């Protein structure tokens, strides 16, 4: 992402407004916190309460060219930004009383596998058919105070589980909010639901019929 005049103006305004580099980076989009800080300094915007002391005078030696040439020795420098999961999130299931009880102990073959984050994929035998979507409300109803402290849209960060609970627009809609399985958008439990093991093709059962013969059109 290039630093257009417009983005630079936004950066300046936000920086001077006291927003943190992270907030600015998120707001601008397409740049990291480091990029924002680096740019701010290049623009001469510096100086803000920094947690790091400005050690002066003595012994402020940088370890100099330390390791900069050398660290390439590290075979796998881990990228700071985790790649987005290839698989898009599976559609969340509604809170369904019937689904609360686990199915009887599996009598059929079990297909399980371990996901890349170490979670156990849900066996197809355990998979619940998606219940039909309830009627949707287009405008959120008034927020139920009971859910005010639940994880809402604005509470989502890279490290909380983004698995939706309930339905958007309803008063009890919120997100799981547990600590994520590192590198994934969901907690371990919900990774197991989002990334599911596949049956061998030949054994695959046809998908349940879609309600009223087709996807909804909005």
Partner DNA sequence: CCCTGATTCGC
Partner DNA sequence: GCGAATCAGG
**Considering the complex, what minimum distance in angstroms separates the CB of residue 32 from DNA?**
3
Is residue 31 involved in binding DNA (CB under 7 A)? yes
**Nearest alpha carbon to residue 134 among 184, 103, 104, 170:** 170
Is residue 16 involved in binding DNA (CB under 7 A)? no
**Residue holding tokens 């998979």?**
127
Is residue 27 involved in binding DNA (CB under 7 A)? no
Instruction: Identify whether the C-beta of residue 166 lies closer than 8 Å to the C-beta of residue 172.
Output: yes
Is residue 154 involved in binding DNA (CB under 7 A)? no
Find the length of the chain: 218
73-102 residues in contact with DNA (CB under 7 A) are: 77-80
Instruction: Identify whether the C-beta of residue 106 lies closer than 8 Å to the C-beta of residue 125.
Output: yes
16, 157, 169, 183: which one binds DNA (CB under 7 A): 157
**Considering the complex, what minimum distance in angstroms separates the CB of residue 175 from DNA?**
16
| Cα 34 from Cα 16, distance rounded (Å) | 17
12, 23, 111, 171: which one binds DNA (CB under 7 A): 23
27, 34, 113, 198: which one binds DNA (CB under 7 A): 34
Using CB under 7 A as the criterion, what x/- string covers residues 51-70 for binding DNA? xxxx-------xxxxxxxx-
Give every CB contact of residue 8 below 8 A, 6+ residues apart in sequence. Answer: 39, 43
Please report, in angstroms and rounded to a whole number, the separation of the first and last CA atoms in the chain: 34
Nearer to DNA among residue 65 and residue 154 (C-beta): 65
| Cα 142 from Cα 171, distance rounded (Å) | 6
Query: How many C-beta neighbours within 10 Å does residue 175 have?
Result: 21
Nearer to DNA among residue 52 and residue 75 (C-beta): 52
Is residue 118 involved in binding DNA (CB under 7 A)? no
> Strand, helix or coil at 189?
helix
- Contact positions vs DNA (CB under 7 A): 1-3, 20-23, 31-35, 37-42, 46-54, 62-69, 71, 77-80, 157-159
């Amino acid at each position: 992402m290039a630093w257009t005049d417009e983005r630079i103006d936004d950066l300046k305004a936000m920086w001077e407004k006291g927003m943190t580099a992270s907030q600015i980076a998120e707001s601008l989009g397409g740049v990291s916190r480091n990029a924002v800080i680096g740019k701010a300094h290049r623009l001469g915007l510096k100086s803000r309460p920094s947690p790091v002391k400005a050690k002066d005078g003595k012994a402020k030696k940088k370890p100099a060219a330390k390791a900069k040439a050398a660290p390439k020795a590290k075979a796998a420098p881990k990228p700071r930004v985790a790649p987005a999961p290839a698989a898009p999130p599976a559609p969340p299931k509604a809170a369904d009383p019937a689904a609360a009880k686990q199915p009887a102990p599996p009598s059929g073959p079990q297909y399980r596998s371990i996901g890349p984050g170490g979670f156990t994929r849900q066996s197809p035998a355990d998979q619940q058919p998606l219940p039909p979507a309830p009627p949707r409300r287009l405008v959120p109803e008034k927020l139920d105070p009971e859910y005010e402290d639940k994880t809402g849209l604005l509470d989502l960060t890279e490290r909380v589980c983004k698995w939706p609970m309930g339905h958007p627009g309803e008063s009890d809609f919120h997100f799981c909010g547990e600590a994520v399985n590192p590198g994934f958008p969901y907690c371990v439990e919900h990774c197991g639901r989002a990334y599911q093991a596949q049956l061998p093709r030949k054994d695959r059962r046809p998908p349940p019929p879609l309600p009223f013969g087709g996807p909804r059109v909005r």
